[in-house]
Structures are given as C-alpha cells and as structure tokens.
Structure 1
Amino acid sequence: MSNDPKILLTGFEPFGGEPVNPAWEIARALDGEALDGARIVARRLPCVFGAALDTLAAAIAETRPRLVLALGQAGGRCDLSIERVAINVDDARIADNAGAQPVDAPVLVGGPAAYFTTLPIKAMVAGLRAAGYPASVSQSAGTFVCNHVFYGLQHALAGSGVRSGFMHIPYLPEQAARHPGQPSLPLATLIDGTRLALELALRTEQDLREPGGAIS
C-alpha cells in the first residue's frame, strides 16, 4: 500500500431485509479518491455486533488514517445527519445479521458512558447547507450497530489526535419506493455530499460555535 495519508471511510453491508445499503455504496464510490493530499480508503463493515469493531480495528491498523468517517443507513432521516455523541449501550430493536439482539448491554464493559465526536460537526453542517445539501447535527446515533461502531471508533482513537466520527445517511429512492412516505436522496447527491463533508472535516481547524441543539 502506498505511503500517502489515508482517510478511512466505512460503510455497512445491507441489513434489516434491505438489498442495498447506501452507506457502503457511497464509501465504495469514493474509494481511491484524493482529497487535500490524502487518499480515501473504503472498508465494508458487517452489520454484526462485535465483528464490526474487529473489522474496524483491522482497517485502522492497516491504514493508519489521518481522519475516519463511518457511515450508516438511517431509514426515516431526510438529510446527512452528523452525529455528536456515541453512548455505551447496545439495545437492538431487531437482530443483527448474525442473529444477535443484545438488550441493555454495554458496548465496552467499564467504558465511559459516552464519547463525543472529534469532527467539526457544526462547520461541516454549515458548509454542506451552504452548498445546497440537506444536513443537520444529530444528538443520537441510536443503539444498534451504528452507535456500536461509533462508540468503538471513538474509544479506539481517543487521545490519538486522529479526528473521527459518524454520519447517518437516508434511504436511496429505490429503497423509499418500498417504504411509502419515507424520505430519500439520490446516490449521486449522497456521494457528492459525503465528499464535501470529508473536505470540510480536513480543512476546518476550529469548529463553529453557534446554536445547533435540539429541544426534544
């Protein structure tokens, strides 16, 4: 593998009966692209508790990235949702792809209650919106495998100086066609928006300080 700096971009395999996962479709489309002197390296994670973190750890060790962004599908969301906080809870409404369904279990026994992202999330959202992409700061990554990976990622890189975080992605139109009333965005829009999100993360030294919380 070449010695150029790496951006690790992960996406999950399909889950929940879906034939496709937009998170992985985005990641593999951007694999190999160069941004600000760094090269994007995409890795697909299994939608499986535990195994996803093993795959993630191997990818981090292999790539030694300067930035990590994990992507996940969130049916029902309408924009690029950049997550603020990962919590130390696995509580699965449905089984993962290996049939596991943990309830009220810690991601890491004895670990902190939560980790915050180290990405400049408000600057990223502002930049995305200015460019015409729907985006928001999200206060919850859920309690399924997405949050599991987000928490494991932040734990693995805590104190390393490597910026990292998680972004949720809406359905693709072909998925929304099977879920009437659910929002979606075209794959090309999601790819371009994710590329811009990575550029903003790389170029932003200090995050914006502006209101971006939620009342409920």
Structure 2
Amino acid sequence: MILLTGFEPFGGESTNPSWAAARAAAALLRSEGLEAEAVELPCVFGEALRLLEAALERYHPEVVVSAGQAGGRSRISLERVAINCDDARIPDNAGNAPVDQPVVTGGPAAYFSTLPVKAALAALLAAGIPAEVSQAAGTYVCNHLFYGLMHALRLRPGVRGGFVHVPFEPKQLPPGSTDPSLPLEQLTEALAVVVRSTLATTADLTISAGATH
C-alpha cells in the first residue's frame, strides 16, 4: 500500500498543488496495478499530524510520500532532513503561530528521509522533470508534518517515508508573473516517479546532490 498526502490551501491561496498532485498520483499508480490512497491534510500544526497518524493506522502503508507547496521554488524538492522545530512566519489555517517550539518534545534534533532521494532525483531528471535534493524543509507545517511522519515511522520497521515540496501550478500565478511553476501533470508524474523509485530501490545511489549554502 502506498500512501500519498497533500495539504489544503493556505496563505490566501484557493488551491494547493500538493493535494491535487497527490490525489492524481494515487489514481495514476492505481491504474498501474498498485494499491495507493491519497489523503488531504489541514495546514494546521498538530492537527495535520493527528490525521496523518490516523491514515497510517487505517492503511498500513509500506511507502509514505507526503507533499507540500513551496511557492517560489522552480524544481521538485526531495527533502532530505526534517528538524525538530516549529517556527511559523505566518499563522496556520487555525491561527496558530508557534515560535521556537519542538515538533516532538524530547525528540531528536532531526530525522532523515528514508526515501531513496538520490535514486528518485536521477529518475526525475531522466524523465525531464526539474528536481533537486533539498537540505531544508523550512519550519512551517510542511517540516512539522515531515518530522512527525518520520517520528511515527520509527515504530513501523520497514515502512519508508519522506517529504517532497512542489512548486506552484501555473494557474496560481497572476497574469504577467515571473514566478516559477510546473504544470499539474508534471507534478503528478513527479510524485509517481518518487514512489516507483522507492519500490525499485533498496540501497540509494551515491551521487552528488549537496549544496554549498
């Protein structure tokens, strides 16, 4: 079973491409004969994790790919590490704005993704999809969910999971905007590629995908 998650709109947006892509990717994977489900999560600290944990209990997935919107980024961002820090620049959809708070009190400083991010990167680039390995998932609800997911998966041996940030969809941009975006079809295929790469990879590739800053 494959579980994909995306977020509801936030920050004044009317749509969130992470949810549209997660839902479409689940349908695509099902058409390929895989069991896959998609769950929309609220952009709310705490509540997003509660619903994610409920989905883990309901579906018992072997792979979890959570996605979120990163407006301004031009590539699919395969997040490498989640940090134990909530520091909201803007309130979430329930008005919460934690500052310098742990995601999990007493938890480790960070968790690494257990998805094969390098193999997925190679597969995305081979498919002509702009992609990168990202070293920072922010400190908003996306990182909150990513950290909480990995904290939950420590008690589920063999289940692999991680987080992917996606750019805006073109329809989100006002006329004349020069902000980067990718079409929904490409975002959908990107999440499916991440899933396929995970299922096909037991040991990640050793290729350079680091950052100097």
Report the TM-score, using the length of structure 2 for normalisation. Answer: 0.95
**Residue identity (%):** 55
- What are the Cα deviations for residues 16-43 of structure 1, in whole angstroms up to 9, with x where unaligned? 0000000000112233433875311000
**In the superposition, relative to structure 1, how do residues 35 and 111 fare at CA in structure 2: closer, same or farther (>3 Å)?**
farther
Superposition map of 1:149-168 within 5 A: 149-158=145-154, 160-168=157-165
> Which residue identity lines up with residue 39 of structure 1 in the other structure?
E
Native 8 Å contact 2:8 2:15 kept in 1: yes
Native 8 Å contact 1:88 1:106 kept in 2: yes
Mapped to 1, the partners of 2:208 and 2:181 lie a distance apart of 26
- Residues matched between the structures, number: 211
> Which residue identity lines up with residue 57 of structure 1 in the other structure?
E
Superposition map of 1:72-111 within 5 A: 72-111=68-107
Task: Work out whether 1:112 is the aligned partner of 2:108.
Answer: yes
Mapped to 2, the partners of 1:143 and 1:199 lie a distance apart of 28
Superposition map of 1:50-89 within 5 A: 50-89=46-85
Gaps of 5+ in 2: none
Residue 73 of structure 2: SS of its match in structure 1?
Answer: coil
Mapped to 2, the partners of 1:53 and 1:132 lie a distance apart of 33
CA-CA distance at 1:175 after TM superposition: 1.3
Mapped to 1, the partners of 2:178 and 2:82 lie a distance apart of 28
Structure 2 counterpart of 1:40 = 36
Gaps of 5+ in 1: 1-5
Native 8 Å contact 2:25 2:189 kept in 1: no
**Of 174, 177, 202, the match for 1:180:** 177
Structure 1 counterpart of 2:167 = 170
Task: Work out whether 1:195 is the aligned partner of 2:167.
Answer: no
RMSD: 1.4
Native 8 Å contact 1:90 1:148 kept in 2: yes
> Which residue identity lines up with residue 186 of structure 1 in the other structure?
P
Structure 2 counterpart of 1:3 = none
> Which residue identity lines up with residue 27 of structure 1 in the other structure?
A
CA-CA distance at 1:178 after TM superposition: 6.2
Task: Work out whether 1:26 is the aligned partner of 2:31.
Answer: no
Mapped to 1, the partners of 2:65 and 2:173 lie a distance apart of 25
**In the superposition, relative to structure 1, how do residues 148 and 27 fare at CA in structure 2: closer, same or farther (>3 Å)?**
same
Mapped to 2, the partners of 1:178 and 1:140 lie a distance apart of 30
Residue 34 of structure 1: SS of its match in structure 2?
Answer: helix
- What are the Cα deviations for residues 68-125 of structure 1, in whole angstroms up to 9, with x where unaligned? 0000000011111000000000000000000000000000010000000001000100
Residue 31 of structure 1: SS of its match in structure 2?
Answer: helix
- Name which of structure 1's ranges 188-197 and 109-118 shifts more when overlaid on structure 2: 188-197
Report the TM-score, using the length of structure 1 for normalisation. Answer: 0.94
